[in-house]
Structure 1
Amino acid sequence: MIWQRLRTTPWYAWPTLSLSTAEGSLIFMAAFLISAVLGVVRQILFNAHFGVGEEAAALYAAFRLSETVSTLIAGGALTNALVPHLLIAARKNGRAISLLVSRMLTLMLVVTVPVTFTLWLSAPLLLRWIVAPGLDLQTQALATLLTRILIAEIVLLVAEGVLSAVLIARGQFFLPAAGIALRNTMIILTLLMPEPTIVTAAIGSLGDSVIQLLILIPGLWHHRLNLRPAWHLRDPLVRGTLNLAIPGAISGTINYGNAIVDTAIASLGGQAAGLGAMHNALLLGHLPQRLFGMAIGQAAFPYLAAAAVNRDRNLFRWRWLTAIGVAAILAMLSALALIGSGRWLIHLIFERGAFDSAAGDLTFSILQVFALGLPIYVIVEITGRALVALGDARVPLLANATQLLSRLGVAMALWPAVGVLAVPIATVASGVVEVMILCGVLFYRIHMRAEWHTTAYTGIIGERS
């Protein structure tokens, strides 16, 4: 077991300890659980200071906009696209790995600067017309200020996305997981300050991104990467990474587009309480999704990619089916637990200060509906990664785009009748659409398609050999 290995391994060797899928899943689950506990502490402090009022709504809107752009440029799609190409580079030598990392890091930083500046200028219009059109002008002005603070995270996430791929490709999950676990520490410290403001809370969130980057450094020192500015777009590994990263980033942005749709629908009628209740409900509902979807998916991904690069269909199929089977069962049990005891949890955790019982009732109503789709969400998470491991980021993009359209249609159709509950209902309905597309395509590719062994990496491997 992983805990025994950690006890028998010197602590300074943990960053370079290679873990199996099961061990990595446990490490990521622990990280997401710690992050969630700290997230609850953060939310308790945040609710006590700001409740579900206008200042809280402004920060939630700012998070939505900055996170969407960060995902487009640097999110998990960049890391996942780089991992299989690092495995290919490792077949040659360490210098090929350093070159690939240097070229990708340089390219992403060159892209980041103008995008960040454009977002800084256009933040008021984006918030007014897309992200939170139902908020009043004063709240939108505050959201603009907070967005302009948070956009600095983009540069930090670019570097973190590229560098963490080096460790994940080797199954060295400990430091990336530690960064996840510590995600809320700085914002908690700012909320513990005497008379914290909504601006200091945003600055604390920025500090958490700094921690996630710095914590990778010990593991990277071990690999002696020779990083330097480098530009070579014709490198087949760079091109291959971009071919996966670009549709993957768009797909990830659509995921955050879901959050923008949710925020916009919840803000209709100027109801700031709907935004706050939805945020608190998703804080609880997303925990099982992270524990059993993202954690297992991330731990399984480098091994799925290795099976794809090595053209081992049977091994790939077994790893995918095992991952989604375990994740779906755990998610189903979590859904039952949330539906049965969610109201008690909300009362225990959130109901204090400005967060009253009416806010708790609304939060629980949203949570109940959202929990029904948990098994679907985790299968989507793992199956999307499995397709990317095969070198196919276009089908996940298509599936995401389809579910976004269905999500928007269902939410708008139901809003007049059920109000903010239209958001979780649309989430479940669109998840069913997405899982049917992803699982249908992947099932066809690994069970029916005779030429499966010809993956997207065949040409790159040929060029590098």
Structure 2
Amino acid sequence: MTFIRLLRYPPRLWPTLSLSTGEGSVLFMGAFIISAAMGVVRQILFNARFGIGEEAAALYAAFRLSETVSTLIAGGVLTNALTPYVLLAARKGHTAVSLLISRMLSLMLVVALLVTLLLVITAPWLLRWIIAPGLDQATQELATLLTRILATEIVLQITNGVLSAVLIARGQFFLPALGIALRNTLIIVSLLLPQATIITAAIGSLGDSVIQLLILIPGLIHHRLHLRLSRQWRDPLVQGTLQLVIPGAISSTINYGNAVVDTAIASLGAQAAGLGAMHNALLLGHLPQRLCGTAIGQAAFPHLAVAAITRNRHLFRQRWMAATGVAIGLATLSSLALALGGRWLIALLFERGAFDQTAGDLTFAILLIFVLGLPLYVMVEITGRALVALGDARTPLLANTAQLVSRIIVATVCWPLIGVLAVPVATVASSAIEAFILSGVLLNWLREPTTWRVSSITDQIESHVVLE
């Protein structure tokens, strides 16, 4: 029905259509499916050329480090933290939104440039001691070079995160979803080049980030944004956004630190095969997680924020429970499908060239354990966003910290017994702990009217903040 509705309008109006939670969920799901299909094509080409050897391990490690840093200062956390304040600024008109976005973008770009420089300098140490300590010297050096190439993505991702909030706040999901769908375009092109190398693959990934940013331009033109550099960072709306961004970014990075633990554990024993098999397994396992958790959570978020700032406890509960229930149901079905057909799918998609049957068996073993936790992963995704909509970024921080600590403990204990399979076992166990904390706190908020606290966003509305 979402796509039927889009077809009722000329394509030039699609970027400015405001969509409901259900419509946005379907749109994001479609985008993730297209992105995943292109990701599979990318991985088929990548596996056939590089297998799961040392060059592949170097790029995976470089991706992990650059993505971790990008998550710290950008990612969905920045967009979600800024979205409610864009809604507030919009009540004052286009000029107020332009001022808020200009101030946030100026501030975050300063941070991004400093972090990028720091990453370029410290990449060798981070890779050797934290990200992939099990890789040999030559692979470490290649990973360092690739990390420095990919570091530029941090600036691009931070810009994308700020500008996307303008559209997400209004439920205008088409352009952000289109950017997701086209994410792997240039890296595929780079792998099809006759003389493709691991370096051209990294440059292709960088180009994909540029595409995601350029796609937002038509929607931003529609909202008549006039951006300029600004140092007025004491704006109450900027300060309110930072109160959500800072703990949210730390929380998201701790959560993403789980992936760093995965990479480090998988690389122990100098076994590049474990790192490559894990990457391929997660490529398949993360798709239903994105479809059922990220897509529904992102589409529901602005609607949850509206319910929060209007103090409509009943509407908020209704929207959260509907989104969570649908997501868990779809995730459960996805778990069963991958458990029954995952080995066949791996053979169909990946077993060619340097990727042999032994690599396929290891990949499926990792996938089979990972999918047991899919209902937990999507519950964490949606409930965490619901708490942020209420102005609570501290609980997700606490939950992610507990998850990381438990993940390290479980993975460390299990590694001597089951090797790389300790990674998915630790993932499931730690996600159960995180889901318990998040859902417990949110249910406490919703149980009685007296526990329905006023969010910081509502406080901003009632104080009649006026942008200069």
Question: What's the secondary structure of 2:450's corresponding residue?
Answer: coil
User: What is the CA deviation profile of residues 45-99 of structure 1, one whole-angstrom value per residue up to 9, with x for unaligned ones?
Assistant: 0000000000000000000000000110111100000001111112222211111
Q: Is residue 267–residue 274 contact of structure 1 (8 Å, CA) maintained in 2?
A: yes
Corresponding residue of 1:15: 15
Specify the alignment match of 1:59 in structure 2: 59
Which secondary structure does the structure 2 equivalent of 1:48 belong to?
A: helix
**Counterparts of 1:315 and 1:231 in 2: how far apart (Å)?**
38
Identity in percent: 71
Give the partner amino acid of 2:149: I
1:214 aligns with 2:230: no
Deviation at 1:134, TM superposition (A): 0.3
> Equivalent residue for 1:425?
425
Give the Å deviation of 1:112: 1.3
Match of residue 167 from structure 1:
167
Partner AA of 1:344 in structure 2: W
Q: What is the match of residue 272 of structure 1?
A: 272
- Residues in 2 aligned to 1:41 and 1:93: alpha-carbon distance in whole angstroms: 44
Distance (Å, rounded) in 2 between the aligned partners of 1:112 and 1:285 = 30
Q: Distance in 2 between matches of 1:454 and 1:198?
A: 51
Aligned equivalent of 2:440: 440
Moved more, 441-450 or 173-182: 441-450
RMSD of equivalent CA atoms: 0.8
Question: For each residue in 1:326-348, what CA deviation from the matched residue of structure 2 results, as whole angstroms up to 9, or x when unmatched?
Answer: 00000000000000000000000
Shift of 1:458: 3.1
> Offset of 1:451 from its aligned partner?
4.4
Q: How far, CA to CA, are the matches of 2:84 and 2:221 in structure 1?
A: 21
Report how far residue 319 of structure 1 moved. 0.3
SS in 1 for 2:463: helix
How many Å separate the matches in 2 of 1:377 and 1:458?
A: 29
What does 1:361-440 correspond to in 2, within 5 Å? Answer: 361-440=361-440
Give 5+ residue unaligned stretches, structure 1: none
1:334-349 to 2 correspondence within 5 Å? Answer: 334-349=334-349
Q: Tell me what 1:136 maps to.
A: 136
Would the aligned equivalents of 1:313 and 1:453 in 2 still touch at CA under 8 Å? no
Q: Output one character per residue of 1:146-198: Cα deviation in whole Å (capped at 9) or x when no partner.
A: 00000000110111000000000000000000000000000000000003100
SS in 2 for 1:219: helix
- Say if 2:194 is the partner of 1:186: no
| Cα displacement (A) at 1:235 | 1.0
What's 1:147 paired with? 147
CA displacement at 1:287 relative to structure 2: 0.3
CA contact (8 A) 1:64 1:256 kept: no
CA distance in 2, matches of 1:362, 1:395: 36
Confirm or deny that 1:232 pairs with 2:232: yes
Task: Find the aligned partners of 1:464 and 1:161 in 2 and give their Cα distance.
Answer: 26
Q: Counterpart in 2 of 1:290?
A: 290
Compute the displacement of 1:459 (Å): 2.6
Change (3 A) 1:255 1:453: closer
Query: Are the equivalent residues in 1 in contact too, given 2:310–2:458 (CA < 8 A)?
Result: no
Counterparts of 1:126 and 1:451, CA distance in 2: 43
Contact kept in structure 2, 1:312 and 1:453, CA below 8 Å: no
Task: Supply the AA of the counterpart residue of 1:287.
Answer: L
Secondary structure of 1:387's partner? helix
**Distance in 2 between residues matched to 1:233 and 1:193, nearest whole Å:** 46
1:158 is matched with 158
| Aligned mates of 1:47, 1:260 — CA distance in 2 | 22
Q: CA deviation at 1:453?
A: 4.6
Q: CA deviation at 1:255?
A: 2.1
Q: Is the 8 A contact 1:71 1:252 kept in 2?
A: yes
Tell me if structure 2 keeps the 8 A contact 1:236–1:463: no
- Is the 2:15–2:218 Cα contact (8 Å) retained in structure 1? yes
Inter-partner Cα distance in structure 1 for 2:51 and 2:381 = 32
Shift of 1:262: 0.2
d(CA) in 2 for partners of 1:454, 1:77: 21
* Partners of 1:227 and 1:182 in 2: CA distance: 26
1:454 and 2:457 correspond: no
Give, in whole Å, the separation in 1 of the partners of 2:343 and 2:47. 17
Deviations 1:200-236 (A, max 9, x none): 0000000000000000000110000111111222211
Q: How many residues align?
A: 465
- Would you say the 8 A contact 2:308–2:455 is kept in 1? yes
Matched, 1:30 2:38: no
1:244-277 deviation line (CA, Å, top 9, x unaligned): 0111111111122111100000000001000000
- 2:242 counterpart residue number: 242
Q: How far, CA to CA, are the matches of 1:197 and 1:256 in structure 2? A: 28
TM-score by length of 2: 0.98
Q: How far apart, in 1, do the equivalents of 2:68 and 2:440 lie?
A: 28
C-alpha distance in 1, partners of 2:134/2:210?
32
The answer to whether the 8 Å contact 1:189/1:204 transfers is yes
Contact (CA 8 Å) 2:293, 2:377: kept in 1 or not?
yes
Asked if 1 retains the 8 angstrom alpha-carbon contact of 2:255 and 2:403, the reply is no
The residue correspondences of 1:321-340 to structure 2 (distance < 5 A) are: 321-340=321-340
Counterpart in the other structure of 2:76? 76
Name the SS of the counterpart of 2:455 in structure 1. coil
Equivalents in 1 of 2:74, 2:22: separation in Å?
Answer: 27
C-alpha distance in 2, partners of 1:462/1:235?
16
Segment of structure 1 superposing worse, 60-69 or 448-457: 448-457
Question: How far off is 1:449 after superposition?
Answer: 5.5
Which stretch has the larger CA shift, 448-457 or 188-197? 448-457
* Paired amino acid for 2:208: D
Alignment correspondent of 1:310: 310
Secondary structure of 2:456's aligned partner: coil
Distance 1:35 1:290 in 2: 11
**2-side partners of 1:292 and 1:269: how far apart?**
35
Structure 2 counterpart of 1:360: 360
Q: Distance in 1 between matches of 2:132 and 2:111?
A: 27
Asked whether the equivalents of residues 369 and 424 of structure 1 are also in contact (C-alpha less than 8 Å), the reply is: yes
Name the SS of the counterpart of 1:231 in structure 2: coil
- Tell me which amino acid in the other structure corresponds to 2:287: L
Which residue type is aligned with residue 158 of structure 1? I
Looking at structure 2, the residues matched to 245 and 445 of structure 1 have their Cα atoms a distance apart, in angstroms, of: 21
Deviations 1:419-456 (A, max 9, x none): 00000000000000000000000000011351415222
- List runs of 5+ in structure 2 lacking aligned partners: none
CA distance in 2, matches of 1:238, 1:180: 27
- For 1:256, the equivalent position in structure 2 comes to 256
Q: Say which SS state the counterpart of residue 171 (structure 1) adopts.
A: coil
Structure 2 CA distance for aligned equivalents of residues 334 and 451 of structure 1: 36
